[in-house]
Amino acid sequence: MRKVAVSTRQSRKRLREALRAAISYTVLVIGAAIFLFPLYWQVTTSLKTASDAMRFPPVWFPSPPQWSNYLILIERFPMLLYFRNSLLVSASVIVGTVLSNSLAAYGFARLRMPGRDKIFMLLLSTLMVPGAVLIIPQFVMFQRLHWVNTYRPLIVPAFFGGPFSVFLLRQFFTTIPLELESAARIDGAGYLRCYAQIVLPLAKPALLAVAIYSFVGTWNDFFGPLIYLSDKNKYTVAVALRYLQGSVRTRPEYHLLMAAATLAILPPLATFFFAQRAFIQGTVITGVKG
Amino acid sequence: MRGSLQAGSLPKVLNAHSRARARRLSLQKREAIACALFVAPAVLGFLAFSLFPLVGSALLSLTNYRLAGWPDFVGLENYRRLLGDPLWWQSVKVTAIYTVAVVPLWLVNSLALALIMNQRLRGISLFRTIYYLPSVLSGVAISMLWIWLLNYHFGLVNTLLKLVGIRGPNWLGDRRTALLSIILMSQWSVGWYLPIWLGALQGIPTELYEAASIDGAGWWAKLRHVTLPMLSPVILYNLVMNTIWATQLFTEPFMMTGGGPQFATLSYILYLYQNAFAYSRMGLAAAMAWLMFLALLLLTVLFFRSSPVWVFYEAELR
């Protein structure tokens, strides 16, 4: 008798769990469809003819896909040049960010000096100061240095640390066992060698996360290139998109605009798929948007 | 120790002692110097690119600097001008509405999604990827896409509405719906919070839920009395950071509406940008920046001051 009661209770519990899973999946699938459909629309619009893009009822699948839209776009606008510019800036920023922040993080995590933690907190506090608050005096400063309309305002600051990366790397460095280093120290290795030959190789996942964040952040950055770059040939992809949007405004060619937008999101998207784990890990460690 | 301090050996001992101390000191000193060198670039960067501009913007805000010539000191004239400028008030209003609407939406939607995803279900990582995806895309590309999706005549949104017989509004072209469009659109990047919430949810000890079950708590009671209190430090952190980000609204109105129609989407940063880079009013823009900094500082302090009332720290129990 009791056995029966237990088993019906169990089966009822199982039923309830199955029901809950079904509802959860339904919500998740509908949500995912809503999240993905704009991107689907962007890519398919980029493969439609100009008239198909504006047809009603809508053309759900472009057939045949107009790959030539991309060729037309590249012919009309020097997209490859903009890509090259963005890559140049991003690569320099990655080098600067990884180098300066790993050095600082090593100091903050491993070496002692008076007031060290207070300085660290002070650096961290700049996380709460939005960039736009500082942009005016920064612009004036770079203008006085005659750096406007060069890549220097976009690149040079990266070589001087940043709160997000320093925090992420310091957190990671403190998890690396000290013994490894003390052994090397006894063998006469200096701090710089400990940093370069022991800590850095062990911190590869964190360094990768920092590199990826600075890549995506720089690639997507709009405000900086917008105010500092005035020469069209120096535009990065983000500002070039805005220039494109403006130049075809009189007669909107949405299929070409969507082709440009699709090209622009490819590098961050590829990076995301390639290193998803490192990406999400960075968010978890710091809780800060890169 | 005292036994060893005999008359004859005293100088020698002291000597050895002080030498050891000197060596230790010099080791300490060497470490401190090394530390200073390692952190020097970051500290220099902080001074040059954060602290100096912060102080600089305060000084600049007291001048009429226009990017050419030498600035004149004008006292509080810029601030007086801003307070009497209806467009400045409009930009404050737009930013406040956007922030107040978007931050709770972000927090509630992402937390709800995280709660659904925090169950033992197959294929969750796929959904996590999908939801996270829009947050790696550039704001400019996203804005372009949504200009197209929200197009009055040919956009996908109005096309779908038309298929079910509804005539959609002129989303971005109408004063009444432009800001709303930007608010709704910003929910697309809600997945960015998922990893933080999921990490925090997985950190809640299962014993708490077991104990709650034994007390007969249903899922609502568990959510109210276990999950939310345990998450409250993360909620506070997200609240502070998201509020700061929301007030930085720029790319979407700049790209999609130019602040219009009739200034309905003139965000604070957009107005600051226009003053600084369209009209070269650097002093005025610096005053705007400084006011925003003070407002955010005040808001952050308020959030933290209110936290003892609603944020629960586990350590308090012990």
The reply to whether residue A289 touches residue B245, judged by beta carbons under 8 angstroms, is: yes
Residue whose entry in the numeric block shows the structure tokens 């339904």: A26
- Report the chain B residue with the minimal C-alpha distance to residue A104: B39
Would you call A54 helix, strand, or coil by DSSP? coil
pLDDT band at B20 (very low <50, low <70, confident <90, very high): low
- By the CB < 8 Å criterion, does A178 face chain B? no
Residue A160 is classified by DSSP as G
Question: Is the Cβ pair B57, A136 closer than 8 Å?
Answer: yes
User: For chain B, what percent of residues have pLDDT higher than 70?
Assistant: 91
Q: Would you state the pLDDT for residue A108?
A: 92
Counted across chains A and B, CB pairs separated by less than 8 A come out at: 264
Chain A contact probe: residue of B31, B46, B219, B234 with most A CBs at under 10 A? B46
Would you place residue B2 in the very low, low, confident or very high pLDDT band (cuts 50, 70, 90)?
Answer: very low
Q: How many helices (H) and strands (E) does chain B have?
A: 15, 0
ipTM at complex level: 0.86
CB contact under 8 A, A133 and B41: no
Using a CB-CB cut-off of 8 Å, the residues of chain A touching B67 are: 140, 143
A-chain CB neighbours of B99 within 8 Å are none
Q: What pLDDT shows up at residue A255?
A: 86
Instruction: Spell out the per-residue pLDDT of chain A, length 290, in tens.
Output: 455 566 677 888 888 888 888 888 998 999 899 899 999 999 998 888 877 777 777 878 888 888 888 988 888 888 999 999 999 999 999 999 999 999 999 999 988 889 888 999 999 888 888 888 899 999 999 988 999 999 999 999 999 988 888 988 898 888 888 888 888 888 888 888 888 888 898 888 888 888 988 999 999 999 999 999 999 899 999 999 988 887 755 467 888 889 999 999 999 999 888 887 776 666 565 554 43
CB distance B196–A283 less than 8 Å? Answer: yes
Q: Could you tell me the pTM of the whole model?
A: 0.87
Q: Which two tokens stand for residue A232?
A: 């069209």
- According to the model, what pLDDT value does residue A288 have? 47
Cβ-nearest to A138 among B49, B132, B141:
B49
Task: Express each pLDDT in B271-306 by its tens digit.
Answer: 999 999 999 899 999 999 999 999 999 998 998 888
CB of B230 closer than 8 Å to CB of B242: no
DSSP one-letter code for B73: B
* Paired tokens of B13: 């001992």
Burial track A25-44 (b if 16+ CB lie within 10 A, e otherwise)? eeebeebbeebeebbebbbb
